[in-house]
A and B are shown apart, each in its own frame.
Chain A
Amino acid sequence: MEQTTLKKLYFWAIITLNLLFAFVIGFTIPILETKNSYIFGFVMIPLLIILNYIIVDRFHYVITQLNDKGERLNAKD
């Protein structure tokens, strides 16, 4: 149970970082002076979406592993 809570906190932290990353992208574009600076968003937002998918995929992987472990322990009992 404690391990699950730690894992949840870990995922909460990396999702928060990803949201901050999104905020930084949005905050930076208007203050850039370079011509066509909106391209920064075109490059970074797809990366952000891919990263978001990878985090969710990892969350699913870890939860599946924990459930399998729990089931195996229950079967032993």
Chain B
Amino acid sequence: MLKIKEVKKIKKPIIEFNERKYIFSIKSLVLFVIGAPLSAWLVYLFFDMEINYWLHEIVVKQTVYFLNLFFDMGATAEYNRVGKYHWDFIIPGKDNISFETFCTGVQAIVIFVGVIIFTPHSQDSNTKSDIIWRKTKALIISSVIFYVVNIIRMLIQIELYNIGYEWDDIHFSISAASSFIAAIIVLLMHKWIPEFIISIIYVGTLISEPVKQGRKKKVKEIVKSTNKVELSLMRKVLRMDKKNYIKKIIEWSKEYVYTIEGDYLIVPDEEISNFIELLMQDKPFAKKKT
């Protein structure tokens, strides 16, 4: 509870990417975390209901059409209202293959539908002006890619089964391998809705902000009482890579008359208040624009 209050007090960071600004409300981020998996699960349950077996029929019949077109297999689709699922593939000379909701690929589609719909919108009016269009494009293209890849997966599996491979050997391995497409969809999604990846980075920034502020306060107290601060602690506060940090600290030492002695940065008495002011800025030691 205390942490939530601390996060609420923090000045919201602004992430700039491709000349657009991304600022998210805490409410939209929470909604994203809860809403995306919950909606995906509910939509999946909806498609798993018997009233939605039309989806099974469409997928089975399209797969059968392409099996016969490419491999001249003589496959057929059979509707049999016995058991939980009603559609089967009939392959001449082989055991029937039963078809279930997971075989439609709808579980992968609904995960991305949940993620895309609940991805938070930036509070910047320019960035969010075309978000609905971008989300729609991402939704349609990701769903179509998953659907097509799923049909191709079934074509490969059933052809391998037809030429003599054991069903158990090819079913799980090829299904797992075809999930690589999810990584491609994430990359494509980043093209249209960078809000998805940026919102994850944003959450990380919000969570780490109290730690950063705590470190700043610690440095402030140390400098006030001892006139010096450990260089490694300063680097943690500034979150800089070693090479860039060394370059910058030498630059600032020359500019603000600090000295470096061993592992410490020494701040002269008359510079302490200025040092603290520069350190406490949103961008520490950045020159203010005049």
| A residues with CB within 8 A of B | 28, 32-37, 39-40, 43, 51, 54, 57-58, 61
Contact = CB atoms under 8 A, between A and B. Distances in A.
A41 to B, nearest CB: 9
Interface of B: 50-58, 79, 81, 86-87, 129-130, 132-133, 136
Q: Which 10 A-B pairs have the closest CB atoms?
A: A40-B54, A34-B57, A39-B51, A37-B54, A58-B133, A34-B53, A36-B51, A34-B54, A54-B136, A33-B79
Contacts of A43: 52
Contacts of A36: 50-51, 53-54
Given A39-B51, A39-B52, A43-B52, A33 B57 contact: yes
Contacts of B130: 58, 61
Most chain A CB inside 10 Å of its own CB: which residue of B51, B132, B136: B51
Q: In terms of DSSP, what is the predominant structure of the interface of chain B? A: helix
Contacts of B50: 35-36
Nearest to A29: B54
6 contacts: A28-B58, A32-B58, A40-B54, A40-B58, A43-B52, A61-B130
Contacts of B54: 32, 34, 36-37, 39-40
